[in-house]
Structure formats: structure tokens, C-alpha cells
Structure 1
Amino acid sequence: MTIPGYDSGDIAEFALERAGAHVDIVAGVVPDEFSLERSVQEPPADALAEPIDLVGHDGLRAVEAFRISLVYDPSALPPGASPTDVAVAVDDDDGWETLESTVDLEETTVAATTNDRPPGSTVAAVYDGES
């Protein structure tokens, strides 16, 4: 996975393959303890996959780009839902916030790219009927 506009040598890549989660980061400081783990947190009601924890994400500094990609289960979409109504959601202090996301129907993944670290440390692929 790449972040458009950035040289691959500048991107720190992380994956939790068994959960279908990938993160690419361009930042001044990516802490050694940064990693991805399956979350023990309760997933949101509209989750299409188990949530993932971004371990050590508070230590990220001078973030230029942060891209997360999650595999989701299209069979978990509500009846009649569009297969593009999927988003990456982040659990922040106020609940689950959806990020502007792009869906890859062929790979059944959803990805979001931001210019900062996410506002929370737990992410999930969710049904987003508002897209």
C-alpha cells in the first residue's frame, strides 16, 4: 500500500495481516512501540469487522500523512445497502467518528488518509449509510 505523493522510502509500514489491517505513516517521529493489535473494545453497532488498536499512536510526531486500510465483510452490510457505504471509524472521546474513506470493492477494503494522527487509538470498518 502506498500514500500518493510520497516516496515509498519515506513511508513506515505496519500490518496485522490476520485482521486485514494496514497502516502507512509519513512522520518526523514514528515510535518504536507503534504497532497494530486486535482490540478488546466492543465494536460499534454498525461494524463490518473487528476493531483494531493503534498501539503507541500518541507518540507520533510531525505527521504528514497517515493511511489506514481495513478489510471488511460485505455480507455484514444491511439489506439494500450500497457496497460503497463503508468507512473507517475512529473511537474518540465522543464516540465513533467516521473518516472520509475510499472503498475498494474488488479487495473488500476501506481506506482513509489524513494529514494528522487519528483522534483515537481504536479503528473499525463500519457501515456508513451517510456516504
Structure 2
Amino acid sequence: MRSSCISTCSIYKRLQNKLNKMNASGPARMLVCYVGHHHGRLLHCSSCLTLSNDCIFQDLIFYIPFGGKESIMNFRQNLMEAMGQNVHFVIDSWMEGDNLTASVIWHLEWKGKEIPHTTGCNFFECQQIDGKLIIRNY
């Protein structure tokens, strides 16, 4: 998918409306877009989501972190394929911290119904490069 596809996606538009109503900006906007990309299966769109080339993704269920943009994108693609079309990430809350950091709490839903014991949390560290906010670590 090209980055332009995200601007016409109804999921993305609803997400942007929610962000605007809640005055989310900077890292908070980026992490909500990250979860929204999972929800909308927009894994290769880059309108609001940018990973640094040397980004590190650490998750407690994996012994070794994923390193590098390509490795992370491959993991995300495999995850979405394994989850199928009916499982979605849903944002419960988010918070923006100091020094371009933010966190999000989410859960998974199957056809609109919450799946028990699927609550998760991601912590994001961002950086500004050439005026663009990108994800450095999460």
C-alpha cells in the first residue's frame, strides 16, 4: 500500500477525529496512529507512522528484541496475518511524557467483543529528525 491510501481509510479518519477531540499531539498522536495502523491493517502506510531505520522493538514475550525497521515491519505483517481479519487492537488510554515519550494501553477484540486477558501496554521513545517525529524505541 502506498502512504496515500491512509488518508482515504475510514478507520484512519475516525482515529484522526478522536485525536483532534482529545488534543493529542507529538508522541501521543504517533502511538495512537501506530495502534490504529494495526487495527486498520495499514502496515505499509507512512502518513503518520515512521520508524527509524535502527528502531528497537522489545516485547516481554520475546527473548530477543526486534532490531531495525525491516525486521519490525516483517513482524507486524506476520502478526496481522496470524490474527486474521476479525481481531483488532483497541486503545483504552494513552499518555504523553517528557522528552518525546508516550505510552498506550490497549486490548484485543474479536468481532467487537473484548478478548479476555489481552490487555497490553507499549512505551514509545521518539526523536525529531529533519522536523519529522519518528519512533526510536518501543
> Do both proteins adopt the same fold according to a TM-score greater than 0.5, normalized to the shorter chain?
no
**Which structure has the highest helix share of the two?**
2
Structure-1-length-normalised TM-score: 0.27
Q: TM-score, normalised by structure 2?
A: 0.26
Structure with the higher fraction of residues in strand conformation = 1
